[in-house]
Chains A and B, each alone.
Chain A
Amino acid sequence: MPEGLTGSLAQLPLGDLLKMLGAGAQTGRLELTSGLDTGDIFLAGGAIVHAESGPDWGEQALFRLFSWPNGQFRFEPGLPAPDRTIDRPLEILLAESARAAGEREAMRRVIPSMDTLPRLARKAPAPSVTIEAADWEVIALIDGQATAGAIAAELGIDDFEAIRRLYRLRLSGLIDLAAPQAAPAPVRQLAGAQFFQALTTAVAAALGPLAEIIIDDAVEDLGFTRATLPRDAVASLAERISAEIRDPEKRVRFQQTMLAMLRQQAA
Chain B
Amino acid sequence: MEKELEQISTVPGVGGSFLCDNRGDVIVSSNPAVLATVTMNTIGREVGRAFVALQAAGQDAPRLEFAYNTWRLLARDIGDAVLFVVCQPAADMAMVRLSADVVIGSWQKNAAAQKRLQRHRAERSALVNRTALDHGSWNSWAIIQSRGS
Contacts and interface: CB of A to CB of B under 8 A. Distances in A.
B94 A235 contact: yes
A256 B95 CA distance: 11
A252 B105 contact: yes
10 contacts: A35-B66, A36-B86, A38-B39, A232-B92, A242-B101, A251-B105, A252-B106, A256-B105, A258-B98, A266-B12
Interface string B42-56: 000000000000000
Contacts of B94: 235-236, 238-239
A239 B98 CA distance: 7
Given A36-B71, A242-B101, 15 more contacts: A35-B66, A35-B69, A36-B39, A36-B73, A36-B86, A238-B98, A239-B94, A248-B105, A252-B102, A252-B105, A255-B102, A256-B105, A259-B98, A262-B95, A262-B98
Interface in B46-78: 66, 68-71, 73
A162 B99 CA distance: 38
Interface of B: 10, 12, 35, 39, 66, 68-71, 73, 86, 92, 94-95, 97-99, 101-102, 105-106, 108, 134, 136
A67 B129 CA distance: 35
A259 B68 contact: no
Contacts of B92: 232, 235
Grouping DSSP codes into helix (H, G, I), strand (E, B) and loop, the A interface class, with mixed when no group exceeds half, is helix
Given A4-B134, A235-B94, A239-B94, A256 B68 contact: no
B134 to A, nearest CB: 6
Contacts, number: 51
Contacts of B12: 266
Interface string A128-142: 000000000000000
B39 A259 contact: no
In the A-B complex, the 9 residue pairs with the closest CB atoms:
A252-B105, A235-B94, A235-B95, A35-B68, A236-B94, A239-B94, A255-B102, A235-B92, A36-B71
B94 to A, nearest CB: 4
Interface in A210-267: 232, 235-236, 238-239, 242, 248, 251-252, 255-256, 258-259, 262-263, 266
Interface size class of A (residues with CB under 8 A): 20 to 34
A172 interface: no
Contacts of B66: 35
B101 A6 contact: no
A255 B76 CA distance: 16
B71 A35 contact: yes
A121 B17 CA distance: 48
B137 to A, nearest CB: 9
B102 A259 contact: yes
B32 to A, nearest CB: 16
Interface string A79-120: 000000000000000000000000000000000000000000
A251 B106 CA distance: 12
Contacts of A262: 95, 98
B36 to A, nearest CB: 8
A232 B99 CA distance: 15
A263 B98 CA distance: 12
A258 B134 CA distance: 45
B101 A255 contact: yes
Contacts of B95: 235, 259, 262
A55 B91 CA distance: 26
A2 to B, nearest CB: 9
A203 B44 CA distance: 35
Contact of B97 (A36, A239, A251): A239
A259 B71 contact: no
Residue in B39, B73, B101 whose Cβ sees the most chain A Cβ within 10 Å: B101
